[in-house]
Structure 1
């Protein structure tokens, strides 16, 4: 009713010019959305990103955190394939050593270094070891992949303090501290690429994953801000947004049109560096996998759906929590019966 009254008042004031003005505004809006659609379409399906070799010559290094499994492992393998030496950082030394052997046997010219580091401990000694390890290396690429989510969806008020602390320590403090070690060398050399793993959980507020969602939202603003600071020094910073991927964290094993394997996701990511149209034009952000990007664009473009998406997000995680709790009860009952 208020809108109708407003339009009526405008028509009276504008007189004979009202119709042309409305037509002009309508045409401008149509053009605006057509341009956004074209930009998204070409970004998602046609444009290629910056070749990662631009960020460092043969013999330069990539540092990958959370490297022993999933996305981190795949980033390490695919960057080794592209000719980078690799520093592997993660919690389990045996897995890191196995991956180092795998990489060096596949790519004999590739060197690897490993550092076993539990980011949840927030150990100054561990960060000193990392700093010493990379001190004389030409680090061209940093993959901030280490991360932690909740063990299952949980209301914030029921979140265990230890889990909350681990999520913030790993996702936020770990990412910042590693970047602060690596980035100065990139600035000095006037080249480099920093990729930080974001999430739809940071792009969209996610009930029952509130702490994780907040940590990823923090990384969105931090990464974009850092990118603006480092861009004059030749260092490119990108937040990488992903929906679900088959991994231990997502607890999903079977890929689908919406859920790629780590291999498929990393290939898409390394092929879309700098193509921000994949993320609805958000500065310093890419959503590289095509199905995730289409969903991102639709949500960004149809802002009126935000409350709808929030409700659906909550309902989905409530359902996941119920299933997880039932499974936990069954396992406890089976264990009790076994004794």
Structure 2
């Protein structure tokens, strides 16, 4: 039996749909404006909130790329720097250069975090003892030499990724943070990745380790907030570095200097819905917002795109290996 609606009911229905549509449009417009404000306008917290000039910064993975750039930019702001990485000669050279350029103090510890030696962590504890550590930069990390299916990932690669990315970050943080808590101030910056925002096939262990850091950082932030200690997970797409193996900059791929400048200028500014996840470089912020609000983080379509991209990268890497082998 057909249902006949009178003209008044039809008008009310149309009006209701129009209002509903208007509310939806307004909601998305507000979300877009909020993202634009966060990405392009909103300033981050002042670093002075976390410690005065002459207080210390601890940086892991400090000998190259992003970690090295954090050292230079934070030294320029008057912080003393404790450099931690594998190669003593690199750390010593960086330390001397920082002291001569910025008249600050530096110390360094050559530590291989893949080894997970208790004596190394005792050295870190001794080095920070008595220091006013204002900022901890958890930058040390490891990824694959090339995208690799999980089932053929070598055992030592998996162990190193988890040991360096996860265990080392947790152990260093557990050493440094009690001093911050006692002083009621401090900042923890931990390097994340888009691979931790959405599942990344052919980088499964790395993707999982970065997702772990995201959840851990959010939980830690809630625990430390009452003590005046801020925790930010700094996430990004690609940055030119030895680990990414990308050499050319572009609109979406900054160099370490530009990335770190953005990161230090956007402390406490968040683009996405994830608690404490900062995406400081502007184009990465745009990508993060689009992934979350248009594609959907963790959506099957986004995972397929990720899989296809990394399969292509693996094919090109294998061909390069073949060419290099023929030259020898």
Which ranges of 4 or more aligned residues in structure 1 deviate by more than 2 Å?
15-25, 303-309
Q: Secondary structure at the match of 2:58?
A: strand
Which structure 1 residue ranges, 5 or more long, are not aligned? 1-8
1:287-321 CA-to-partner distances (Å, cap 9, x unmatched) read 00000000111111114583332212111110111
The offset of 1:123, in angstroms, is 0.6
**Equivalent residue for 1:318?**
311
**Equivalent residue for 1:67?**
62
Q: Secondary structure at the match of 2:109?
A: strand
Pick one of 79, 84, 88 that aligns with 2:79.
Answer: 84
1:280 aligns with 2:272: yes
Matches within 5 A, 1:112-151: 112-151=106-145
The offset of 1:134, in angstroms, is 0.3
1:243-267 CA-to-partner distances (Å, cap 9, x unmatched) read 1100001111111111000000000
TM-score of the aligned structures, taking structure 2 as reference length:
0.95
Partners of 2:326 and 2:76 lie apart in 1 by 48
Q: Secondary structure at the match of 2:202?
A: coil
Matches within 5 A, 1:41-190: 41-108=36-103, 110-190=104-184
Are the structure 2 counterparts of residues 313 and 328 from structure 1 closer, same or farther at C-alpha, using a change threshold of 3 Å? same
The offset of 1:119, in angstroms, is 0.4
1:308 aligns with 2:301: yes
**Equivalent residue for 1:5?**
none
1:35 aligns with 2:27: no
How many pairs does the alignment contain?
322
1:75-118 CA-to-partner distances (Å, cap 9, x unmatched) read 0000000010000000100000010011011112x000100000
Which structure 2 residue ranges, 5 or more long, are not aligned? none
The offset of 1:18, in angstroms, is 3.4
Partners of 2:114 and 2:265 lie apart in 1 by 31
TM-align CA RMSD: 1.7
The offset of 1:54, in angstroms, is 1.1
The offset of 1:57, in angstroms, is 1.1
1:13-63 CA-to-partner distances (Å, cap 9, x unmatched) read xx6653333233222211111111111101111111001111001211000
Q: Secondary structure at the match of 1:302?
A: helix
Partners of 2:156 and 2:35 lie apart in 1 by 41
1:293 aligns with 2:288: no
Partners of 2:195 and 2:296 lie apart in 1 by 19
1:180-202 CA-to-partner distances (Å, cap 9, x unmatched) read 00111111100000000000000
Partners of 1:195 and 1:289 lie apart in 2 by 15
Matches within 5 A, 1:213-228: 213-228=207-222
